[in-house]
């Protein structure tokens, strides 16, 4: 045991919840999903606050000011990249949110409790929430690319 | 409000967000709203119609639920970060919620 001040029994906010690159995800994709849910949530709330201010423009300065603003946003690559990141965040957060609602709120896709026996794999990890998570990881990049094609004006 | 009750509201607002945010995002699909591109759907000719219809109430509900859901998530992270400052975090989060809810309400009311 180390001398002096005892260490807190937590790994630190950054490692625990905000940085997906610091997470060990071997055999625990739920852990990666948890961190990505937080990271995308922080991105979305930052965007939401800006969005509420920006969408107030026509109420303050009229629709001409709005059109000028949208013209600037539509031609600025930095804004487009920002929108692309927000789109990916919303897509992951939304799909993983549906999985969490099913598992935590409606109590489905989490398996049944059972007597623990080797190799001690919790029923939750063998339940359909895991398949849903794999499906999310598979569908998410496809939808994100589709959103990117829209945002960058490919179609 | 107890922690478990707030968590219930987090799930309820999540369900509402699926409905209202889903509707809001569908409006950005150009072929569904008769626009030429995604950026065309953001022009005043399209957006002003949404604010001038009953859907503006949906937009207002969307703003309130998204603010509650998002800020409550941030509140949770702040409580984990510095639990001793819980009362301060609650006060800051509620203040931000009220300010931005008022801005959203003003936007919808002015453009109705």
Instruction: Give residue-wise pLDDT tens across range A102-155.
Output: 999 999 999 998 888 888 888 888 899 999 999 999 999 999 999 999 999 887
Whether residues B100 and A38 touch (CB distance < 8 A) is answered with no
Among A146, A150, A148, A104, residue whose Cα is nearest residue A127 = A104
The string of DSSP codes covering B76-87 is HHHHHH-GGGHH
Set of chain B residues whose Cβ sits within 8 Å of the Cβ of A104: 11
This model of the complex carries an ipTM of 0.94
pLDDT at A11: 59
How many helices and strands, by DSSP H and E, does chain B display? 5, 0
Set of chain A residues whose Cβ sits within 8 Å of the Cβ of B106: 56, 59
Non-local CB neighbours of A62 within 8 Å, separated by 6+ positions: none
* Surface of A (93-132) touching B: CB under 8 A: 94, 97-98, 100-101, 104-105
> Dihedral sign, CA of B2, B3, B6, B11?
negative
- Other C-beta atoms lying within 10 Å of the C-beta of residue A88: 19
Q: With 50 as the cut, is the pLDDT of residue A2 above it?
A: no
State yes or no: cis peptide before B66, omega within 30 of 0. Answer: no
What's the average model confidence in pLDDT over B44-56? 91
Distance, CA of A19 to CA of A14 (rounded, Å): 6
A4 Rama class: left (phi>0) / alpha (psi -120 to 50) / beta: left
- Inter-residue contact A84 to A147 (CB < 8 Å): yes
pTM given for the model: 0.90
Distance, CA of B94 to CA of B100 (rounded, Å): 10
Whether residues B73 and A17 touch (CB distance < 8 A) is answered with no
Whether residues B67 and A48 touch (CB distance < 8 A) is answered with yes
Domain ranges (residues) in chain A: 19-151
Distance, CA of A86 to CA of A51 (rounded, Å): 11
**For the segment A62-102, what is each residue's pLDDT rounded down to a tens digit?**
999 999 999 998 889 999 999 999 999 999 999 999 999 99
CATH class assigned to A19-151: mainly alpha
User: What burial letters (b/e) apply to B57-73, b meaning 16+ CB within 10 Å?
Assistant: ebbbebbbbbbbbbbbb
**For the segment A33-60, what is each residue's pLDDT rounded down to a tens digit?**
998 999 999 999 999 999 999 999 999 9
Distance, CA of B40 to CA of B47 (rounded, Å): 10
- Inter-residue contact A95 to A140 (CB < 8 Å): yes
Non-local CB neighbours of A90 within 8 Å, separated by 6+ positions: A40, A44, B21, B25
Q: With 80 as the cut, is the pLDDT of residue B30 above it?
A: yes
pLDDT at A1: 44
- Identify the band that residue B1 occupies on the pLDDT scale cut at 50, 70 and 90: low
The minimal CB distance from A70 to the residues B39, B63, B104 is found for B39
- Inter-residue contact A55 to B107 (CB < 8 Å): yes
State which fold the B4-110 domain adopts. 3 helical TM bundles of succinate and fumarate reductases (1.20.1300)
């Amino acid at each position: 045991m180390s001398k002096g001040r005892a260490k807190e029994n937590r790994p630190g906010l950054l490692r625990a919840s905000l940085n997906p690159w610091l997470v060990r995800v071997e055999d625990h994709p739920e852990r990666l999903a948890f961190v990505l849910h937080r990271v995308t949530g922080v991105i979305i709330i930052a965007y939401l606050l800006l969005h509420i201010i920006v969408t107030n423009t026509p109420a303050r300065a009229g629709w001409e000011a709005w059109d000028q603003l949208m013209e600037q946003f539509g031609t600025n690559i930095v804004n487009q990249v920002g929108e692309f990141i927000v789109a990916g965040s919303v897509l992951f957060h939304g799909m993983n949110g549906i999985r969490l609602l099913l598992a935590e709120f409606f109590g489905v896709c989490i398996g049944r409790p059972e007597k623990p026996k080797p190799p001690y794999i919790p029923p939750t990890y063998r339940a359909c929430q895991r398949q849903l998570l794999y499906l999310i990881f598979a569908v998410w990049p496809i939808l994100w690319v589709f959103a990117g094609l829209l945002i960058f004006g490919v179609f | 409000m107890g922690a478990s009750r707030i968590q219930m509201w987090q799930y309820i607002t999540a369900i509402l967000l699926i409905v209202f945010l889903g509707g809001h995002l569908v409006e950005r699909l150009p072929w569904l709203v008769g626009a030429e591109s995604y950026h065309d759907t953001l022009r005043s000719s399209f957006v002003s119609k949404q604010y001038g219809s009953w859907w503006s109430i949906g937009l207002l509900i969307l703003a309130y639920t998204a603010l509650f859901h998002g800020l409550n998530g941030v509140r949770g992270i702040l409580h984990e970060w510095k639990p001793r400052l819980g009362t301060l975090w609650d006060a800051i989060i509620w203040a931000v919620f009220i300010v931005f809810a008022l801005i959203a309400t003003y936007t919808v009311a002015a453009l109705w």
